[in-house]
């Protein structure tokens, strides 16, 4: 049914990919009312997420777009 190249180490099931990101400093800071923001929202003002690759949670196979 499945060829060997499509199987994952997790009992022969297909891969489960999740994206991986890298945080880089944000060059453009915006004026914002920090008093009403959550810590995650404040962090997003100073850092931006940059996509790197997708990695299978079970076997570690990588896909770069």
Residues 6-36 have pLDDT tens digits of 567 666 678 888 999 999 888 776 677 777 8
* Domains identified in the chain, total number: 1
pLDDT of residue 55: 92
Structural domain that includes position 53? 16-59
Strand partners, 51: 21
- In the chain, which ranges are continuous DSSP H helix? 39-46
Residue 47 lies inside a defined structural domain of this protein: yes
Tokens 């076997």 belong to 59
Contact between 24 and 50 (Cβ < 8 Å): yes
Alpha-carbon gap, residue 19 to 32, rounded angstroms: 29
Task: Give residue 4's pLDDT band: very low, low, confident or very high (50, 70, 90).
Answer: low
Does position 2 have pLDDT exceeding 50, yes or no?
no
Residue 10 lies inside a defined structural domain of this protein: no
47: which DSSP letter?
E
């Amino acid at each position: 049914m499945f060829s060997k190249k499509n199987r994952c180490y997790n009992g022969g099931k297909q891969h489960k990919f999740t994206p991986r990101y890298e945080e880089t400093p944000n060059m453009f800071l915006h004026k914002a009312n920090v008093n009403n923001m959550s810590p995650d929202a404040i962090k997003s003002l100073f850092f931006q997420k940059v996509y790197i690759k997708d990695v299978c949670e079970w076997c570690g196979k990588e896909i770069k777009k």
